[in-house]
Amino acid sequence: MQSGRPMGPSGTTPPGQDFGTDKVPPAVEAQLLATEHWSLLATRSTAQSEVLTRISILLTLVSASVVSLALVGQATEFSGRFRGFALALLGFVLVAGTLTLIRVHNASEEDMALVIGMNRLRAAYVRLAPNVEHHLIASRFDDDDGVAHTYNYFRIPDISQILGSTGMLVTMVNAVIAGAFAGLAADGWGASTTVSVTAAVTVGLAYIAAVVALALRRYFGVRARYTALFPTSSHTDDQ
């Protein structure tokens, strides 16, 4: 029995089963690229919606916890029973907030990967139709400069993007909860008001510092392992 690609009448290849190395027509290539582009957009939208839902749940949980602490405090006259309830509740909220923050950081890395993928698709669009480059707002390069341009468009990246980010919001909320937990625990151990406040501030700042350090470590680790396929320098060299 013969093997190999199927053959039609007169030894020709049946329609739709061309297994040769002929180049894909530009129209077909554009359709394939557009399909991948829409897939990346849908994935990005789904991830962002999930993260926003997780953050909304966290903020609702924090709000409900504050109300619960107020009600229980009035009922117990802020006695030792209140302290135990508050420590348990704040510990639970802190764990939930930390898990939410981990998801936010993971989603940020996934979003950057999706942006890189869409930048590469734009590079393919420009290769198929060079004239479209003048109509693109986002970048077609997948290096650091290209990704930064897609995220920022007409402005230079600065510290305001970090301070105003979703990750920083969740970090600040978690830091306040961690500080309150530490201050309440110190008060329960018989510490003075000054010591309790100092413990709360120290733990809150330490939480922020630890989160920032771990986030930077992950970011630079990703950058060290990544190699751009369409760097901005290649465009400069071509001119």
Q: Per the structure block, which two tokens stand in for 210?
A: 């630890």
What is the domain range of residue 111?
Answer: 26-41+51-228
Q: Is residue 20 part of a domain?
A: no
CB of 138 within 8 A of CB of 153? yes
Q: Is residue 72 part of a domain?
A: yes
Mean pLDDT (whole number) for 52-69: 96
pLDDT at 238: 53
**pLDDT above 90 for 33:** yes
**Burial class of residue 197 (count of CB atoms within 10 Å of its CB; 0-12, 13-18, 19+):** middle
Number of domains in the chain: 1
**pLDDT above 80 for 1:** no
Q: How far apart are CA 37 and CA 115, in angstroms?
A: 10
**pLDDT above 60 for 6:** no
Q: How many residues appear in the chain? A: 239
| Percent of the chain with pLDDT strictly greater than 70 | 88
C-alpha distances out from residue 192 to 35, 188, 198, 220, Å: 64, 10, 10, 42
Of 28-42, 69-83, 163-177, the one with minimum mean pLDDT is: 69-83
How much is the pTM? Answer: 0.81
pLDDT at 162: 85
Q: Is residue 149 part of a domain?
A: yes
**Burial class of residue 79 (count of CB atoms within 10 Å of its CB; 0-12, 13-18, 19+):** exposed
Of 90-99, 142-151, 174-183, the one with minimum mean pLDDT is: 142-151
Q: Is residue 12 part of a domain?
A: no
Q: Is residue 2 part of a domain?
A: no
Q: Is residue 10 part of a domain?
A: no
Identify which has the larger pLDDT, 80 or 186: 186
Q: Is residue 17 part of a domain?
A: no
Identify which has the larger pLDDT, 119 or 235: 119
Q: Is residue 122 part of a domain?
A: yes
- Give me the phi and psi of 13, to 5 degrees please: -80, 130
Rg (alpha carbons) of the chain, rounded to whole number: 27
pLDDT at 97: 97
